[in-house]
Amino acid sequence: MGHRKLSAPRHGSLAFRPRKRAKSIRPHVRSWPKSGGPKLLGYPAYKVGMIHAIVKDNYQYSPTFGKEVFRALTVLEAPPVILAGLRFYIIDEKRVLRTIGEVWAKNLPKEVGKVISLPKKDSTVDVERFKSSAHFVRALVVTQPWKAGLPKKKPEIIEIPLGGELNEQLRYLESLGSEISVNEVFSPTAIVDAIAVSKGKGYEGPVARFGIKIIQRKKAKKTKRGPGSDSPMTPGAVMSTVPRAGQHGFHNRVDLNKMIVSIEVDPSKITPKSGFRHYGLPRSSVVLLQGSVPGASKRLVILRSAVRSYFKPLKEAPEIQYVSSV
């Protein structure tokens, strides 16, 4: 093998195939946690940017327990959402989810009409029939980007499951048309998953897309920035596992187990005087999330209750000593 190391694992995980563009800039959530209290199991927010902070480590098993440590934080603006409707589901004999009906609030913002055509007749007529046959209920929430530091007015309509038993989920019928804040869904120290569409890089070669090695000049016959071998001689076709050029970025990605360090109702506490770069000034509640999050500034991020968290949340949020943006 010459100068090569004995172990040469492949470049680029096969778990992320196909590496194609997301269907929509709005992230797609494929699974939700199975349990939880009688509340929304997720919440939409907009990515503002990143800051760093000095916090006091309060994890008792950490080597830096009680000391001041550096933490990179992502700032997400989470304006209140409107509970626009409820969707009723049943599970048939083939274990398939089927929708039996929807109930919509009456007085919704006029901006919702830019997304869908609202039902003209009163949808609360069949509520009793839905309640008697439904197995569970999911909420239809409408974002309010005009209450955030964003120039857009067109909202997103997102379906989010509700935790708890069916009788607890049906209580949300009384709250149709009301606002739900992020404080009602998550609290500091909560463990969440961040789901977003990553930054788009366009059409890239295999070196940028998979991180393969550039072939040395004396060994390159034709190409330097490509795989050393496309495929074996037989079966006479290029294998799907070979790194090839194609779309890089703008993929639907999930970042697991992020801790909410703080939820600030007053965003001015962490906002620089000139505003955040490429975003501006947040105007509603902000969530400080530990670590990074996929996507560019102003992009929609869905925070979901962790589906496979392997550690218990802290009893108290870490104390923030210093924030870089102020």
Task: Enumerate the CATH 2.40.30.10 domain ranges in the chain, comma separated.
Answer: 42-78+187-212+245-326
d(CA 84, CA 42): 15
**Whether pLDDT at 152 is above 80:** yes
Instruction: Please name the CATH architecture into which domain 80-180 falls.
Output: 2-Layer Sandwich (3.30)
DSSP per position, 80-144:
-EEEEEEEEEEE-TTS-EEEEEEEE-SS--GGGGGT----SS-GGGGHHHHHHH-SEEEEEEE--
CATH class in words for 42-78+187-212+245-326 = mainly beta
> Does pLDDT of 192 surpass 60?
yes
pLDDT, one tens digit per residue, over 91-136 is: 988 889 999 999 999 889 999 999 988 877 777 777 888 888 899 9
Residue 4 has pLDDT above 90, yes or no: no
Which stretch of 2-11, 66-75, 144-153 has the lowest confidence by average pLDDT?
2-11
If pLDDT is split at 50, 70 and 90, which confidence band does 256 have? Answer: very high
pTM: 0.92
pLDDT tens-digit map of 27-66: 999 999 987 789 999 999 999 999 999 999 999 999 999 9
Average predicted confidence (pLDDT) for the chain: 92
Strand partners, 60: none
CATH 3.30.1430.10-classified regions of the chain: 80-180
pLDDT score of 5: 66
**pLDDT band with cut points at 50, 70 and 90 for residue 26:** very high
Contact between 238 and 38 (Cβ < 8 Å): no
